């Protein structure tokens, strides 16, 4: 009888130590410290696609709506990759104000938004062409917003 209690106790301790280790290991990852996904190359002809939609007030309002409904949860309110769902994703969602995104063509952002890549969903069927172009144009406003914020600080 005593032996059984001892065995159960050992198993329990082992379980607690293992889960404790796993939890501390996962909480160690911060949004900034996460690795980037493997290179995600956009086909040339898609990258060269020119946006036919003009970023007027209406289009940017549509883009903002789409962003807040479908993208913000992972990419964050202003595209810095710090949305609430990002906590549970083990790679970085990227930063729309970083050089890599700024230098990407509209066509490339549009293609990646359309296709998605796990864990990011595809928006081919969820959003119309205009909605996808609108959200791409809306993401271009994040750089200006980030710059205004730093100007105010300094
Ligand atoms: C479930 C979380 C999630 C949602 C929702 C989401 N994304 Fe993403 N997105 C990611 C992750 C993670 C990556 C990085 C993917 C990779 O590197 O494989 C990514 C990458 C991207 C990229 C490509 C960045 C690069 O590396 O060049 C673009 C563009 C993008 N997302 C746009 C959007 C837009 C626009 C929406 C909304 C319409 C959206 N995403 C919704 C998680 C998400």
Instruction: Give the binding-site residues of ligand 1, using a 6 Å CB cut-off.
Output: 37, 40, 66, 70-71, 73-75, 85, 89, 91, 93-94, 104, 109, 112-113, 117, 119-121, 123, 135
pLDDT tier, 17 (very low <50, low <70, confident <90, very high otherwise): low
pLDDT at 19: 52
Residue nearest to atom 11 of ligand 1 (CA): 93
Here the CATH number for the domain that contains residue 42 is: 1.10.760.10
pLDDT at 32: 56
pLDDT digits 0-9 by tens, 126-150: 999 999 999 999 999 999 888 888 8
pLDDT digits 0-9 by tens, 71-113: 999 999 999 999 999 999 999 999 999 999 999 999 999 999 9
What's the gap in Å between 113 CA and the centre of ligand 1? Answer: 7
Residues 98 and 124 both lie in one domain:
yes
State the greatest distance between any 2 C-alpha atoms of the chain, in Å, as a whole number.
Answer: 78
- Does the pTM exceed 0.85? no
What's the gap in Å between 120 CA and the centre of ligand 1? Answer: 5
Residues 142 and 127 both lie in one domain:
yes
Residues 19 and 42 both lie in one domain:
no
- Per-position DSSP letters for 125-136, written without gaps between them: TTS-HHHHHHHH
pLDDT at 16: 57
Residues 22 and 92 both lie in one domain:
no
Residues 21 and 86 both lie in one domain:
no
pLDDT greater than 70 at residue 21: no
* Structure-block tokens of residue 143: 């750089």
Residues 52 and 113 both lie in one domain:
yes
Residues 2 and 43 both lie in one domain:
no
Residues 53 and 94 both lie in one domain:
yes
Q: Which residues span the domain enclosing 115?
A: 36-153
Residues 14 and 46 both lie in one domain:
no
Can you tell me the distance from the alpha carbon of 16 to that of 14, in angstroms, rounded to the nearest whole number? 6
The number of folded domains in the chain is 2
What's the gap in Å between 70 CA and the centre of ligand 1? Answer: 10
Residues 15 and 65 both lie in one domain:
no
Residues 8 and 77 both lie in one domain:
no
């Amino acid at each position: 009888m005593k032996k059984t209690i001892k065995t159960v106790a050992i198993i329990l301790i082992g379980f607690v130590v293992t889960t404790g280790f796993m939890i501390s290991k996962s909480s160690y990852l911060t949004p900034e410290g996460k690795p980037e996904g493997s290179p995600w190359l956009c086909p040339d002809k898609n990258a060269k696609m020119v946006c036919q939609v003009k970023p007027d007030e209406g289009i940017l309002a549509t883009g903002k709506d789409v962003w807040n409904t479908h993208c913000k949860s992972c990419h964050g309110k202003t595209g810095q990759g710090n949305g609430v769902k990002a906590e549970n994703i083990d790679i970085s969602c990227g930063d729309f104000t970083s050089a890599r995104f700024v230098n990407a063509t509209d066509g490339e952002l549009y293609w990646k938004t359309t296709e998605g890549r796990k864990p990011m969903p595809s928006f081919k069927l969820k959003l119309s062409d205009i909605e996808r172009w609108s959200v791409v144009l809306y993401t271009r406003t994040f750089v200006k917003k980030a710059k205004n914020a730093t100007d105010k600080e300094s």
